[in-house]
Amino acid sequence: AQSVTQPDIHITVSEGASLELRCNYSYGATPYLFWYVQSPGQGLQLLLKYFSGDTLVQGIKGFEAEFKRSQSSFNLRKPSVHWSDAAEYFCAVAHTGGFKTIFGAGTRLFVKA
């Protein structure tokens, strides 16, 4: 069965520091992978996605993610975090046999001044 694991429930980083949020997936074929961000009380905004091709994907707001098949990972990175990046981040994998998307449990990012 498919699954998505985000090992870190919450992470705190200083403003200006680099960020890496971890995501591991379990899926038999090459998955479609996504990172979403959710601000409190809001819906989800797509940061970036990987379907195929270059394994380093650039997204909005300065985020990037790298697909590593050998590690079944799709970690999200940002070189310099801004206070406005504080939010909940969800990694997700889409079922290539249909439309169902499985979400990880989320990682809450706190940014300290």
Partner 1 sequence: GAVVSQHPSRVICKSGTSVKIECRSLDFQATTMFWYRQFPKKSLMLMATSNEGSKATYEQGVEKDKFLINHASLTLSTLTVTSAHPEDSSFYICSASTATDSYEQYFGPGTRLTVT
Which CB atom, from 42 or from 58, has the smaller least distance to partner 1? 42
In the complex, the smallest distance separating the C-beta of residue 103 from partner 1, rounded to whole angstroms, is 5
CB of 56 to partner 1, least distance (A): 19
* Residues at the site binding partner 1, with contacts judged by CB under 8 A: 32, 34, 36, 41-46, 49, 51, 90, 94, 96, 99-101, 103-106, 108
Residue 40 or 113 having the CB closest to partner 1: 40
Please identify, using beta-carbon distances, which residue of 8 and 15 lies nearer to partner 1: 8
Q: How many residues does the chain have?
A: 113
Q: Is residue 23 within 8 Å of 72, Cβ to Cβ?
A: no
As measured in angstroms, the least distance from the Cβ of 21 to partner 1 is 14
Which residue, 63 or 104, has its beta carbon nearer to partner 1? 104
- The residues near 43 (Cβ < 8 Å, ≥ 6 apart) are none
The gap between the terminal CA atoms of the chain, to the nearest Å, is 41
Cα–Cα distance between 2 and 15 in angstroms, integer? 35
Rounded distance, CA 4 to CA 42, Å? 22
CA distance 109 to 9: 9
Minimum distance from residue 16 beta carbon to partner 1 (Å): 27
